[in-house]
Chains A and B, each alone.
Chain A
Amino acid sequence: MFDRLSDRFDGILKRLRGKGRLTEADVDEMLAEIRTALLEADVNVRVVRSVVSRIREQAIGIELSKALDPGQQVIKIVNQELTAMLGGEVLKLTYASRPPTVILMAGLQGSGKTTASGKLARWFKSQGRNPLLVGADLQRPAAVEQLRTLGRQIDVPVFSEADDIVRSGKGDPVSVAQRGLQEARRLGKDVLIIDTAGRLAIDEELMEEVRRISATTEPHYTFLVIDAMTGQDAVDTAERFHQALAIDGVILSKLDGDARGGAALSVKEVIGRPIAFASTGEKLDAFEQFHPDRMASRILGMGDMLSLIEKAEQALDQEQAEAAATRLMEGEFTLDDFLEQMQAVKKMGPINNLLGMMPGMPKELKGAKIEDDQLSRVEAIIRSMTPVERRKPEIINGSRRLRIANGSGTSTGEVNRLVKQFSEMQKMMKRFGGMAGGKKGKRRMPMMPPGFPGMN
């Protein structure tokens, strides 16, 4: 649905070709596209305005270097600017000299506080700490039960009211938090994480309640949990919570969705507090410290290379993949290798998502809407070949072709095209492998355009 910013620039750049300097009008045209990209990513309107004016200052009159085309240069500026805005001051957690270090979790309903509390507890555990969770969300039915289940999964104790009091709705969150603090001291826990009820920022009564929890427990850190899918309202919400509680950092939840997460930028800009953690999946270990550079390219809708690399490292067998890559460069890549790698790549998630993350993919491939099932057709053809045919597809003649087509339920034309394309790819890779070997990989892959992080 969303195009990458560089795709948007295509039309503008065609007219700029050969120009040595960007004029104000050129820049304005690009800025309009940048504005659109940011707004579609849910960056707050007012934040967009200030970002765009800052980028404008830097972009006008830049000398065009030979290495980068003007579009790439502007993208680089945008990327740098966003990364700087998202990063800057990093939250360095220090632990209280008199434990426990108290952490208060706040946010709207459904932002993912309870899950984030559990994940944070697990994170502290992995840092060698000994956390206690406090269930002070007595509003939502079964919130305490959810926290208890999470606690069991990560082997962290949970303190709250007894179940019958929770169910009766008569529990007092302030008192639970206070007793939780005492309990943590008694048990010698060094980190205390207090999960609170979700509340609307405009609900004065509930905001007063969380203020009282804060006043009673004097948290060392107060985290605001923000859903990555949040739209323009993120700014108002963050401002109000910040006024009431003095937020120390933000936890961005549900970042494993396909929302571009402009809310992160808005919140950072408005309350000036760092984004400390990002929640990147349903599993309890899918929780990491925040990477501003990745978020910048994500907001711009550029393929998120780093996430892709991470996914690849998880899904692919490193040795096997590298061996295959070497064979690929040397032109010895067989259809067997292809089949093997195809299986591995499929494990990385739906093909359409991968295509979206892959920078520089040809447009017609991106728009192709490939179902994973359809790749099975390609697989079926290869599987219907004999081992010798897979190593040397050039021996496939008319009768072999017919056999393969029949065996895989496809047509001889499809078999033919697969074989032909495979041999073309081999030729291309051989050439590329030679170049990469000769010039120490300085040259880029023909299918990869310049200007992507980590590629040059």
Chain B
Amino acid sequence: MPVVLLILIAVVLVFGIGVLVLNRRRAGTAQPAVTAERREVPAPPPKPSLGKPSTTVPAPSTDEPVAPIEADEEISAEELDAAFEESLADFEAEAALAEIEEFEAETATEPEVLERPRFRDRVAKARATFSGAFGGVRGRAGITAESWDELEEALLRADVGLRVTNGLLEPLRARVKSKEITDPDALLTALQGEMKARLADSDRSLRLEDRAGAGPNVWLFVGVNGVGKTTTIGKVAAQQRAEGRRVLLAAGDTFRAAAAEQLQTWAERSGAEFVRGSEGGDPSSVIFDGVQAAAARHCDLVLGDTAGRLQNKSNLMEELRKVRRVADREPGRVTEVLLVIDATTGQNGLVQAKEFGEVTEVTGVVLTKLDGSAKGGIVFAIETELGIPVKLVGLGETIGDLVAFDPDEFVDALFGE
């Protein structure tokens, strides 16, 4: 009797929600205060750190109670060593750098860490096959209906999205109509110019506050499954290490089998510190432990991995909300929340940015796998519609393949120029 079940659900929903809508209409749009308060998960009382020397675990500087540290052998062992490690901090940093170099030497074909590849070089492979998206437009004597179709198709095929595409082409149609633009080349130039202009004013720098003695910066990496969060963290870690910063990787992905091992491999390669929890454990407590350990070891930066999650899973999104809140507790401070988006992502990318943005206050987008045939046009929509700047781009598998986003090169690559 599935239909009867459906009717039942419908009635429950219509009635239950109908009451709410009625109430809301009565009360204007004011939200009941109850909801906001209920969000606050009551913090458990501070737990004495049994068996750990109290000198190595800094007491929280506020009297706010903190989440209990999950008993984890690996971490407590690391913390026992913390005091000793501190005195060796400088030596270790050097050793770690040496490790990076060693790793580099081993894989001789890899480019040097600091030599940043350019979009143009990387996208060349893809371009060879998909060039000429605008060849047709350019080849025509004038601007015809086909020209517009081809322009539209090229933008749509790059995943820019129908609404944004229309938004870009409409003003151009007007300019062509008024004879302001008459030849195809000028039309293409105007379109590219407009797109570049829309991306021109964003602040794409990664925020790293100098917080001497005040605890580490925390950068969180969030996104759906399989976009390359862990790999991105590995690359960021290596780059930050190469710039001389002390970095700690916190394996907040306790869900995917072997995610922590993957991150640990990256930590070893880049000479970053590493903190993990038990598989299936609470990600917030791993991040919390990470921040504590980073403070104890005077790290500048904690890179927090999180499990990939689909944005429509509300329980997992609530979990992420908590991770962000816990990471922001003293001594930690969240200075970046980076949403990792795969270049093959279609229109769902906008929904991702919206939902993750709402839950974790995303500060920037990392666009990965742009070295494939996908053009990643959805980030144009994300940046221009939601105002979240694209900060980094992944162009390959090696450590040096994560580069700063360059809007001009991105737009050129979209057009296969």
Contact = CB atoms under 8 A, between A and B. Distances in A.
Interface of A: 1, 36, 39-42, 44-45, 108-112, 139-143, 145-146, 148-150, 153, 167, 200-202, 227, 229-234, 236-237, 240, 254, 256-260, 262-263, 282, 305, 308-309, 312-313, 316, 321-322, 324-325, 328, 333, 338, 341-342, 345, 348-351, 353-355, 358, 361-362, 364-365, 368, 370-378, 409, 413-414, 417-418, 421-422, 425, 429, 441, 445, 447-448, 454-455
Interface in B201-245: 224-228
B158 interface: yes
Given A259-B346, A455-B3, A39 B162 contact: yes
Given A110-B342, A231-B344, A342-B16, 20 more contacts: A41-B347, A42-B347, A143-B258, A145-B261, A145-B262, A149-B257, A231-B159, A233-B344, A233-B375, A254-B226, A257-B311, A257-B312, A259-B351, A341-B8, A342-B12, A355-B13, A358-B10, A365-B18, A371-B35, A375-B16
B32 interface: yes
Contacts of A167: 265
A345 B150 CA distance: 48
Contacts, number: 262
Contact of B348 (A146, A201, A257, A312): A257
A233 B373 CA distance: 7
B55 interface: no
B13 A422 contact: no
Interface string B306-318: 0000111110000
Contacts of A338: 12, 15-16
B298 to A, nearest CB: 28
16 contacts: A109-B228, A145-B257, A149-B258, A153-B257, A202-B126, A231-B349, A234-B344, A256-B310, A322-B4, A349-B314, A361-B13, A374-B32, A374-B35, A414-B19, A425-B15, A441-B3
B372 A233 contact: yes
A167 B11 CA distance: 56
B310 A236 contact: no
A259 to B, nearest CB: 4
Contacts of B265: 141-142, 167
Nearest to A454: B3
Contacts of B343: 233
Interface range for B: 35 or more
Given A257-B310, A374-B32, A377-B20, A325 B346 contact: no
What 8 A-B pairs have minimum CB-CB distances, sorted nearest first? A231-B346, A110-B226, A149-B257, A42-B346, A145-B258, A233-B374, A259-B348, A142-B262
A141 B9 CA distance: 46
B8 A254 contact: no
Contacts of A139: 397
B169 interface: no
A361 B257 contact: no
B372 A108 contact: yes
A351 B345 contact: no
A312 B5 contact: yes
Contact of B310 (A148, A258, A441): A258
Nearest to B352: A229
A309 B310 CA distance: 22
Contact of B5 (A236, A258, A313, A351): A313
A231 B18 contact: no
